[in-house]
Amino acid sequence: MEFRHLGRSGLMVSEISYGNWITHGSQVEEDAARECVRAALDEGITTFDTADVYARTKAEEVLGRALKGVRRESLEIFTKVYWPTGDGPNDRGLSRKHLTESVNGSLRRLQTDYIDLYQAHRYDHETPLEETLKTFDDLVRQGKVLYIGVSEWSAGQIADALRIADEMGFDRLVSNQPQYSMLWRVIEPDIVPLCQEEGVGQVVWSPIAQGVLTGKYLPGQPPPSGSRATDQLGGGFIGRFLENDELLASIQDLRPIAADLGLSMAQLAVAWVLQNPNVSSAIIGASRPEQVRENVKAAGVRLDADVLKRIDSVLGSHVVRDGALAEQASPSRRP
């Protein structure tokens, strides 16, 4: 495993991190989840990402139990807040009330005294940004949180948060967690340039496009039994890729590129996102320990310019680059 700074902060993170979005507490049994976490630790992963909303708080509980007994100082534990975790009007968003209550709940479920990176899971249009940032700053000063980040914020929203933090003397954002892969590059036009200049690192999710870039989904054929596409949550997310037979055919043309490098398709996809110097870490998920062991082999892989050009040539117009799509990630009103 290799390590990178989280943005311009002093915190080092494993360049491949382990996430439990739709696995722990929902897709796989706890014993399997624990085995995946153990495999991640054995392979040198020190960075673990979750969120209070995953499996309606159960994912945090499973991760907390799986990491129990591991030396806390050797880990970087990330979680997130915004989406509903209850039925009340204040069980969502980025208000002072919800942030304060949510961090305490996450600490309890994760069985830890502090969170290394606490992330705003979306932008809250119904809470003044000053209120959110002041509360985050208070949590840092209380020692409950060490660093602050966001997830799926637009370039303008990140810029506003950095400006307010500087003006009011708050702790600055050090990270953004966006979707990013060979197929989904909407952060490149605006978000990456801003973040490079401001010292904000990307902790990217879905580097394998929820399994699409493994090449296991074939044009004109049903998804393999037990694959992410057959899962109620994952299937809905990747539907836009699976409906495009031309795209699925193009992905098969990546096989010779991966083979020339001695990589699996998944390893090539993870290695690709790590070529971006603004990426601090790529999040992988797994339902089996073997998937963890395979994907971590992308750590330290360097792809030369010719390889990157070959990938772009194969995927062509299937790549989504529209930076305006980043503006649509956060709902205009809390869900």
**127: its two tokens:** 């809470």
- Report phi then psi at 254, rounded to 5: -80, -15
DSSP result, 192-242: HHHHHHHTPEEEEB-TTTTTGGGT-S-TTSPPPTTSGGGSHHHHHHHHHHH
**Residue owning tokens 């209070």:** 52
Task: Show Cβ contacts of residue 147 under 8 Å, excluding neighbours closer than 6 positions.
Answer: 6, 9, 11, 116, 117, 118, 140, 171, 174, 175
Q: Which amino acid does the sequence have at 101?
A: E
Nearest residue to 37 via CA among 94, 75, 80, 92: 75
Give catalytic status of residue 180 as yes or no.
no
Rounded to an integer, what is the distance from CA 115 to the centroid of its chain? 16
Identify whether the C-beta of residue 85 lies closer than 8 Å to the C-beta of residue 105.
Answer: yes
Count the Cβ atoms, other than its own, within 10 Å of residue 187.
27
- Residue found by looking up tokens 């360097």 in the block: 302
- The strand pairing partners of 184, in sequence order, are 320
Q: Which of 54, 82, 147, 180 is catalytic?
A: 54
Q: How many helices (H) and strands (E) does the chain have?
A: 12, 10
Catalytic residue set: 54
